[in-house]
DNA sequence: CTTATGTTACACGCAAAGTGTAATTAATCC
DNA sequence: GGATTAATTACACTTTGCGTGTAACATAAG
């Protein structure tokens, strides 16, 4: 039997005999509220193809289940009976995002409304998988206690791992995560944490974070570049993550041949270069916080990676034609801007008209996008 | 108001007050019958999440409307009451695919079951758009008469044009199609032909043809390479065409910079080369029929385009990770094989495990894939 | 300031559509 | 002829749209 996180959802969250948490119309409504928190009930009809009566009923049922909360009406909203405002009720459920990177495991606790309830990280050092998971469990319990959470509201876990998909819930991760590689993570983790676990690639959960909290609120088609120790990314098409035929869509590093691969924009190379030049940069997160474009070697490195970078940008544009390309992962905003300034689109106009080009946007997600995205995955899969 | 082909569908095809031709469950059923013509009614339940009774009812209604036809039961199918076989009823509707290329306009007449009822082509030479359309209309009428069709069954038109999408139903096509460029083709053509017209890029309709008649019957994620005078393509993700943020997903030529663009695998360059070498190749369709890999210059040209070709293949693989890459358009099978033989995937294994790679498949669609795909578009949009 | 009027949305009941469950009937195999 | 499988038919349940009366508020007349 194929592992399925959906089948493990606790019964008190489930609505119908088919095991669904919400119906399609309910999902559409919850999505709308996600994108417009505090929208009034009466405004819903204008955005969704449902009558006022149906909206009333669905809202009524979702309120009764504690999934959405009614708020005071907006004042001064014209005449007529005032309509209550709607929000997702964070108290109904919370989820945990776990992001396994080469150096660190990030943890993000989030409620149904998208509020971050707590964050933590565990340095991997030489920890075995079992030891690391034990530490995650302890950290999770601490976060839960500090936030005063009721365990019954613990909906599930989103697990992100650096590396490519091999099949099922098996991934092939870089060396420090050797022990985490090529095994069925879904059954293992859901057994260990006693909750359904959704497993994804780390760059893809970063992409999901961007789609739920960042530019995805306004843009339906975009590519997300995840600059980390390595370099990957993800694609959002029509608001949904594109997984591809083998679950590895957005692994942009595959564009480069062996030679060019050394000049790809992975932050490991920049850190090496900086350390060679006498700039003490102990970690990627340190670099992100303290980045200075005048550090010796920065401009040089950027110039070196620019050809490979531009090839990648043009490949993404040609293949999937996104409306935007988002610079994310752990890239310092200033470094992203340097790349954007050097972007060249290979395009010749016809009749003076260019092919529409993507906008280049620097992600505004400050925390661990990968863990944050992992935390929404359970909700996105079941609620909205 | 935005142009919409759906809104122009003749009332006698429409089912519900919302203007839909079939309900979602009916669509699922029709798709299943499309992929398995002659499936027995009792087998349906195993493939779709519907009870035998619901299947009976839906089949009953679709039969009453003349959309599907019941056939004699398969003999020797075990005990129990024999179950009738199901097919799409071609008589219910036919559609016309029109593919405007730089040199020729292809026409394809197709019925609801996917059977080709007739084909024609019109050389463009120096024809104005109005003259070309008049000729198309005449050719269409001839094909209709020859096939003995009832005009009431004429469902709509799929129109394909070489060039990139600019917005709405406007495209930017190469010079011979200057007059067809940057205008709203949808309203213009639907007015002229008095039927709803769905407008797409030509490489994309070729992709749709492959998804409906070719490898798409077995593969849910694939990239389609359309080798024509120019070079383009399209993407199928989870069985559906990926359009991208501006409607230009799959315009693979955009991968190449100005310099490399001259060594991209567009057949115009091969023909030039062959003619220089004294091989008389008057047209692409001639080359397709009579291709000989031993013609002077063929191997040379293939070697020259191989680097750009491999970059493109790896870019497609990295970005969208398809299960298969299909060689289509008007490429001679032998030429496609020469490229496949030279394919190199930029991938280093980790723990001895490679990232899953796409299969390379030569399209088996012999006729004008672009017009053929254009012809199914109306049906795909409304029925399955 | 009070009151009448118009507007907007709430909230309830009912009908229609579509699906699942259950029971009966029909055709075929062993 | 009994077993088996699927075709039919009947009925219940869910979800949605429609109709309608009511509640709350804005505005302007008095």
Domain ranges in chain B are 6-91, 93-208+370-382, 217-364
Contacts of B306 in chain A (CB under 8 A): none
A76 CA to D24 C1' in angstroms comes to 13
Interface test with A, best of B102, B216, B320 (most A CBs within 10 A): B320
The structure tokens 């096509």 sit at: B173
Secondary structure letter of residue A10 according to DSSP: -
The pLDDT, as a whole number, for residue A72 is 86
Across all strands, nucleotide nearest A54 (CA–C1'):
D16
**Cβ contact B127 with chain C strand, < 7 A:** no
Residue nearest to nucleotide D24 (CA to C1'): A81
Name the minimum distance, in Å, from the CA of A369 to any CA of chain B. 20
Name the residue closest to C17, CA to C1': B16
Q: Which residues, 6 or more positions from A154, have their beta carbon under 8 angstroms from its beta carbon?
A: A93, A94, A95, A96, A144, A195
Neighbours of B273 (CB within 10 A): 18
CA atoms lying within 13 Å on the CB side of residue A196: 22
The encoded tokens of residue B182 equal 């940057």
Give the DSSP per-residue string, A244-258. -SSS-TT-GGGGS-H
CB pairs under 8 A between A and B: 160
Position B227 confidence tier, pLDDT thresholds 50, 70, 90 = very high
Is-contact A231 A252, C-beta < 8 A?
yes
DSSP 8-state assignment for residue A353:
B
Local structure of A148: helix, strand or coil: coil
CA nearest neighbour of B252 among B278, B234, B239: B234
3-state SS, one letter per residue, for B45-109: HHHCCCCHHHHHHHHHHHHHCCCEEEECCCCCCCCCCCCCEEEECHHHCEEEEEEECCCEEEEEE
Cβ–Cβ contact A219 with B under 8 A: yes
Pairing of strands B154-161, B94-100: parallel
Cβ–Cβ below 8 Å for A315 and B317 = no
pLDDT band, very low/low/confident/very high, at B174 (cuts 50, 70, 90): very high
The sign one gets for the Cα dihedral B262, B265, B268, B271 is positive
In DSSP notation, B133-197 reads HHHHHHHHHHHHHHHT--GGGEEEEEEEESSEEEETTEEE--GGGGGGTTS-HHHHHHHHHTS-E
CA A29 and chain centroid, separation = 21
Closest by Cα among B78, B183, B86 to B129: B183
The minimum CA-CA distance between B316 and chain A, rounded to whole Å, is: 7
pLDDT digits (tens, 9 = 90+) for B181-209: 999 999 999 999 999 999 999 999 999 99
Is strand C within 7 Å of residue B275 (CB)?
A: no
What mean pLDDT is predicted for residues B219-239?
97
Residues from chain A that touch B102, judged by Cβ atoms under 8 A, are none
- Order of strands across the sheet that contains A231-237: A240-241, A231-237, A222-227, A324-329, A359-362
**What pLDDT does A161 receive?**
97
Q: Do residues B108 and B375 touch, judged by C-beta distance below 8 A?
A: yes
* Interchain contact, B348 vs A258, CB within 8 Å: yes
From the CA of B382 to the C1' of C19: give the distance in Å. Answer: 23
pLDDT per residue over B67-119, tens digit each?
999 998 887 777 778 899 999 999 999 999 999 998 899 999 999 999 999 99
Chain B residues 328-357 within an 8 A CB cutoff of chain A: 346-348, 350-351, 353, 355-356
Nearest Cα of chain B lies from the Cα of A88 at a distance, in angstroms, of: 29
CB neighbours of B52 closer than 8 A, spacing ≥ 6? B42, B45
Q: Which of A315, A322, A353 sits opposite B315 (nearest CB)?
A: A315
**Strand C closer than 7 Å to the CB of A314?**
no
- Best mutation target among A16, A239, A244 (most B Cβ atoms within 10 Å) is A244
Of A172, A219, A323, the CB nearest to B353: A172
For chain D, which bases have at least one atom within 7 A of a protein Cβ?
2-10, 15-20, 23-27
Gap from B26 CA to D8 C1', Å: 20
pLDDT of residue B310 exceeding 80, the answer is yes
pLDDT above 90 (res B127): yes
The strands making up B85-88's β-sheet, listed across from edge to edge, are B39-40, B85-88, B68-71
Fold of B217-364: Nucleotidyltransferase; domain 5 (3.30.420)
Side by side, which strands form the sheet with B359-362? B240-241, B231-237, B222-227, B324-329, B359-362
**Which residues make Cβ contacts (< 8 Å) with residue A181, sequence separation at least 6?**
A163, A170, A171, A172, A173, B350, B351
Asked whether the predicted pLDDT for residue B351 surpasses 90, the reply is: no
Which residues 85-124 in chain B show a CB within 8 A of chain A? none
Tell me the C-alpha to C-alpha distance, in Å, between residue B259 and each of A119, A346, B230, B262: 49, 10, 16, 6
Q: Hey, are the CB atoms on A248 and B358 less than 8 Å from each other? A: no
Would you give the DSSP letter of residue B252?
G
Strands B324-329 and B359-362: parallel
Residue in B248, B323, B353 nearest the CB of A245: B323
Specify whether the CB–CB gap between B321 and B346 falls below 8 A: no
- B244–A255: do the CB atoms touch at under 8 Å? no
Q: Are A329 and A225 in contact (CB under 8 A)?
A: yes
- Smallest Cα distance from B32 to chain A, Å: 21
A93-208+370-382 in CATH: which number? Answer: 3.30.420.40
**A46 CB contact with strand C at below 7 Å:** no
Phi and psi angles of residue A151, each rounded to the nearest 5 degrees, phi first: -55, -30
Quick check: A78 CB within 7 A of strand C?
Answer: yes
Give the CA radius of gyration of chain A.
22
For helices B185-193 and B129-147, the axis angle rounded to 10 degrees is 50
Contacts of B248 in chain A (CB under 8 A): 321, 355-356
Q: Which chain A residue shows the shortest CA-CA distance from B49?
A: A18
> In residues, how long is chain A?
384
pLDDT confidence bin for B269, thresholds 50/70/90: very high
Would you say how long chain B is, in residues? 384
Helices B267-276, B298-320: crossing angle, 10 deg rounding: 170
Q: B160, B167, B234: which is closest to B204 by C-alpha?
A: B234
**Spatial CB neighbours of A243, under 8 Å, sequence gap ≥ 6:** A204, A249, B321
A residues 235..254 contacting B (CB < 8 A): 235, 237, 242-254
Distances (CA, A) of A241 to A197, A223, A331, A381, B266: 18, 10, 21, 11, 32
In chain B, residues 289-318 whose CB comes closer than 8 Å to chain A: 311, 314-318
CATH of domain A6-91: 1.10.10.10
Element (H, E) at B261: helix B258-261
Number of helical (H) and strand (E) elements in chain A, helices listed first: 12, 15
Q: Are B1 and B187 in contact (CB under 8 A)?
A: no
**Gap from A9 CA to C19 C1', in Å?**
25
* A259 reaches B (C-beta below 8 A): no
Tally of CB atoms within 10 A around B146: 12
Distance CA A266, CA B335 (A): 37
Residue A222, token pair as written in the block:
């975009």
How far in angstroms lies nucleotide C30's C1' from the CA of residue B81?
A: 15
Contacts of A192 (CB under 8 A, 6+ apart): A133, A137
pLDDT by residue for chain A (384 residues), tens digit each? 689 999 999 999 998 777 889 999 999 999 999 999 999 999 999 999 999 999 999 999 999 999 999 998 877 677 778 889 999 999 999 999 999 998 899 999 999 999 999 999 999 988 999 999 999 999 999 999 999 999 999 999 999 999 999 999 999 999 899 999 999 999 999 999 999 999 999 999 999 999 999 999 999 999 999 999 999 999 999 999 999 999 999 999 999 999 999 999 999 999 999 999 999 999 999 999 999 999 999 999 999 999 999 999 999 999 999 999 999 999 999 999 999 999 999 988 888 888 899 999 999 999 999 999 999 999 999 999
Beta bridge partners of B326: B224, B361
Structure tokens at B305: 């385009």
Which residue does chain A place closest to B224, by CA atoms?
A319
What count of other Cβ atoms lies within 10 Å of the Cβ of residue A329? 29
* Residues having Cβ less than 7 A from any atom in strand D: A 16, 23-25, 49-51, 53-54, 57-58, 73, 75-76, 78-82; B 40-42, 52-53, 55-57, 60, 78-84
Contacts of A346 in chain B (CB under 8 A): 254-258, 261
The per-residue pLDDT for B77 is 72
The reply to whether residue A253 touches residue B318, judged by beta carbons under 8 angstroms, is yes
Do A217-364 and A93-208+370-382 fall under one CATH topology?
yes
Nucleotide nearest to A78 (CA to C1'): D26
């Amino acid at each position: 039997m194929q592992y399925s996180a959906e089948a493990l959802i606790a019964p008190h969250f489930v609505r119908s005999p088919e095991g669904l948490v919400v119906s399609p119309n309910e999902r559409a409504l919850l999505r709308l509220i996600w994108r417009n928190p505090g929208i009034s009930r009466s405004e819903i009809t204008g955005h969704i193809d449902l009558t006022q009566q149906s909206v009333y009923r669905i809202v009524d049922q979702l309120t009764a289940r504690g999934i959405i909360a009614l708020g005071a009406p907006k004042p001064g909203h014209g005449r007529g009976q005032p309509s209550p405002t709607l929000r997702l009720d964070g108290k109904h459920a919370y989820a945990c995002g776990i992001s396994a990177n080469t150096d660190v495991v990030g943890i993000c606790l989030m409620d149904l409304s998208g509020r971050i309830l707590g964050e933590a990280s565990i340095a991997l050092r030489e920890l075995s998988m079992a030891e690391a998971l034990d530490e995650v469990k302890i950290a999770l319990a601490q976060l839960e206690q500090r936030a005063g959470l009721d365990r019954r509201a613990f909906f599930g876990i989103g697990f992100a791992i650096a590396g490519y998909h091999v099949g099922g819930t098996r991934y092939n991760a870089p060396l420090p995560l050797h022990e985490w590689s090529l095994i069925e993570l879904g059954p293992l983790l859901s057994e260990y944490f006693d909750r359904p676990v959704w497993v994804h690639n780390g760059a893809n959960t970063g992409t999901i974070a961007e789609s739920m909290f960042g530019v995805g609120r306004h843009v339906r088609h975009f590519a997300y570049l995840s600059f980390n120790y390595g370099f990957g990314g993800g694609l959002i098409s029509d608001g949904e993550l594109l997984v591809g035929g083998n679950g590895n869509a957005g692994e942009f590093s595959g564009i480069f041949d062996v030679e060019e691969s050394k000049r790809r924009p992975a932050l490991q190379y920049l850190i090496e270069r900086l350390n060679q030049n006498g700039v003490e940069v102990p970690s990627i997160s340190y670099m992100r916080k303290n980045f200075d474009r005048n550090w010796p070697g920065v401009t040089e490195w950027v110039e070196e990676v620019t050809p490979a970078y531009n090839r990648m940008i043009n490949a993404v544009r040609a293949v999937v034609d996104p409306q935007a390309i988002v610079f994310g992962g752990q890239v310092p905003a200033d470094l992203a801007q340097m790349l954007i300034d050097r972007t060249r689109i290979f395009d010749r106009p016809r009749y003076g008209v260019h092919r529409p080009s993507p906008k280049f946007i620097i992600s505004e997600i400050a925390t661990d996008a990968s863990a944050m995205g992992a935390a929404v995955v359970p909700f996105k899969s079941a609620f909205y």
